[in-house]
Amino acid sequence: MSDNEFELIESCFKGKGGHSSPFTRFAIGDDASIHHPRAGFDLVVSSDTSVEGVHWPVDFPRSRAADRAVCAALSDLAAMGADAVAVWVNVMAKDESSVRKMGKGVSSALKRYNVELVGGDTCRSPVNAIAVTVAGELPEGTAMRRDLARSDDNVWLSGKLGFHALGLQQWLHHQRDGEYVHHLEEITPLISAGIHLREMGVRCCIDVSDGLLQDAGHIAKASRIGIDIELLQLPNWIHMCRSVGRKAFYEAVLHGGEDYALLFTAPAEMEIPEALAVKIGCCREGSGVSVFRNGEPCEVEQRGFLHFG
């Protein structure tokens, strides 16, 4: 890299995010950032890493990849019901051009969701990668967690499923004008929806990053309950079946990841606005995740995205 590392940080990252928050006393410019959480609030922190060739195709624009990486990390805050207040970004890049392109993507995402970039690092690497740490705040004791589902809860979905997996297939097959490919290019973290759900009293939620079955299984295991899912209740199923066929639809919806919809459970008596989410199943005594089509059990492979599976 021809530029000094500190000059790159200054030109590509300092002041490139959203507006500052009272949470941050001092951001980029010292050995560490300084923060002051509000009294009566919990601090929620998550970290996520994206690697070229693993999380995005090698011919995918690096600026878009960095934008997606930030949004994927913000989605973890959405799943907890937290309001994002700060982001740290570590960029590992093959060359200076990659740093600048990924910096552009980071800035784009943070400005779109108005979150301050408060620190991070850059270094040379044989492969392009980006690690994003996010922090959010929420009133003490109100976080939505995957271990708080109850056996008499209903199961709901906010957002869409399968669109990213279908978009990835179209990208890999060079169908750059395909119906679903733009869903690969941009992730939308449902931050406002997550905050709304938490304020309504929802206690259990997860973002669907590794596939519906696998992430529903995380809730089932953590909460020690079973979950039943009805395929015909999933949003867009009629259109998607007609568009790509039933088999491809099932594969994309059940096993495809990185849609970042919010899967949550809520008491049967809780009214969920139709514009916010759709009911796709129910919890029960027992364990595991079962899938039904029009009330009839379906045999499906229980898998999702695994790095070391």
Starting at the edge strand found earlier in the chain, the sheet holding 153-158 runs 204-207, 262-267, 153-158, 278-284, 226-230, 289-293, 296-298
Asked if residue 209 belongs to a known ligand binding site, the reply is yes
Asked if residue 153 belongs to a known ligand binding site, the reply is no
Terminal C-alpha separation, the chain? 36
DSSP string, 258-297: ----EEEEEETT----TTT-EEEEEEESSSSEEEEETTEE
Asked if residue 182 belongs to a known ligand binding site, the reply is no
Give the DSSP letter of residue 58.
T
User: For 157, how many CA atoms within 13 A lie in the half-sphere containing its CB?
Assistant: 26
Asked if residue 47 belongs to a known ligand binding site, the reply is yes
Neighbours of 224 (CB within 10 A): 12
Asked if residue 215 belongs to a known ligand binding site, the reply is no
Asked if residue 192 belongs to a known ligand binding site, the reply is no
Asked if residue 147 belongs to a known ligand binding site, the reply is no
Structure tokens at 41: 């609030």
Cα distance between residue 190 and residue 58, in whole Å: 27
Task: For residue 110, give the 3-state DSSP assignment.
Answer: helix
Structure tokens at 298: 């379906």
Are the C-beta atoms of residues 224 and 272 closer than 8 Å to each other?
A: no
Neighbours of 182 (CB within 10 A): 14
Asked if residue 259 belongs to a known ligand binding site, the reply is no
Asked if residue 249 belongs to a known ligand binding site, the reply is no
Phi/psi class of residue 267: alpha, beta or left (left: φ > 0; alpha: ψ in -120 to 50)?
Answer: beta
CA distances from 159 to 185, 212, 269 (A): 17, 12, 22
Pairing relationship of beta strands 204-207 and 153-158 according to DSSP bridges: unpaired
Asked if residue 83 belongs to a known ligand binding site, the reply is no
Asked if residue 305 belongs to a known ligand binding site, the reply is yes
Please report, in range form, the residues annotated as the binding site for Mg(2+): 31, 46-48, 76, 121, 207, 210
Please report, in range form, the residues annotated as the binding site for substrate: 55, 258, 305
Please report, in range form, the residues annotated as the binding site for ATP: 120-121, 146, 209
Please report, in range form, the residues annotated as the binding site: 31, 46-48, 55, 76, 120-121, 146, 207, 209-210, 258, 305
